[in-house]
A = this chain, B = another copy of it.
């Protein structure tokens, strides 16, 4: 399901067509002469979800376009590339997290083994760069690769902080800025500069995307604790199982009374969200609510969205600008 409907009226029709075009480019780029490869790719295409990153490219492109309605082939290529990079990170994240379910389908690693999932993710990354270097200038590929460098650093920083119960908030924000927000910001910047190479809005749109991406990740982390498999559509509680500390936990461990901290650590370290003993998901959420830590994380996401909205409100009024505002709101109101 898309994060937001592509808008009403002319822009809505336009974007629905553009997104369909991008799905076509995605499939065409990944087509192989080997049936075994196409079968795996078909499986990944079923992961297709919110299309947040292509939407960020396209809507930023429209918002920065002098006429408010021009999109180029470059926008479509970059939007497809961004989705392909994102899909690759999902496939590799599933290996990382040993996740069993994503978007209501079995994950590649569960179905075919971690090794196939690693190689399929590599196939997606390789095709993303292959497609991006079909553009006449190497600049977008360089900018995308700079973002993916940063995404990998974020993932490695997160892995280095596994089971680090003393993880502080600045480091958490550094992790999610790199692993999620940088690619979202880059989508917006590329959308802007493909419309107008010297766009005066490129920096503001980058910051908008970065803030939206950060809020998106905070909400994702919260849904991992508070969501249900049925609405979120992927294995939950994995962050805690894997020793990944997220904002509500960091806040809780910072604010819990010193006398109760040891008990919290024992409960969290012991949390077994797969239902086989240890602390249950409900116990963990109650623990976090006892210090207002879920509400704290929710507030942090809302503040980022307020800031993101302010950045795009500085743009000239347009239906694209309205859609950027709507997308920002959807990030914090979503239940999936």
Contacts and interface: CB of A to CB of B under 8 A. Distances in A.
A40 B34 CA distance: 35
A138 interface: yes
Interface in A102-137: 112-116, 118-123, 125-127, 129-130, 132-137
A119 B133 contact: no
Nearest to A160: B36
Nearest to A143: B133
Given A118-B118, A156-B40, A159-B115, A149 B123 contact: yes
Given A133-B141, A145-B126, A148-B126, A156 B95 contact: no
Interface string A59-85: 000000000000000000000000000
27 contacts: A34-B153, A34-B156, A36-B160, A37-B156, A92-B119, A112-B159, A116-B156, A118-B121, A119-B152, A119-B159, A120-B152, A120-B156, A122-B148, A123-B149, A125-B125, A126-B149, A129-B129, A129-B141, A129-B145, A130-B142, A130-B145, A130-B149, A133-B139, A133-B141, A134-B138, A134-B142, A137-B138
Nearest to A179: B119
A170 to B, nearest CB: 14
Contacts of A155: 119, 122
A195 to B, nearest CB: 20
Interface of A: 32, 34, 36-37, 40, 92, 95-96, 112-116, 118-123, 125-127, 129-130, 132-139, 141-142, 145-146, 148-149, 151-153, 155-157, 159-160
Across the A-B interface, give the 3 residue pairs with the lowest CB-CB distance, nearest first.
Answer: A130-B145, A123-B152, A36-B160
B34 A157 contact: yes
A34 B112 CA distance: 34
Nearest to A137: B138
Given A36-B156, A126-B149, 16 more contacts: A32-B153, A34-B156, A36-B160, A40-B156, A92-B118, A119-B155, A121-B122, A122-B152, A123-B152, A125-B125, A127-B149, A130-B148, A130-B149, A132-B133, A133-B145, A141-B141
B34 A122 contact: no
A contact patch SS: helix
Total copies of the chain:
2
A157 B36 contact: yes
Given A40-B156, A129-B129, A136-B138, A95 B114 contact: yes
Contacts of A129: 129, 141, 145, 148
Counting chain B CB atoms within 10 Å of each CB, the highest count among A34, A145, A153, A160 belongs to A145
A96 B118 contact: yes
A156 B125 contact: no
A322 to B, nearest CB: 34
Contacts of A141: 129, 133, 138, 141
Contacts of A122: 92, 121, 125, 148, 152, 155
Contacts of A92: 118-119, 122
Contacts of A130: 142, 145-146, 148-149
A113 B242 CA distance: 12
B116 A114 contact: no
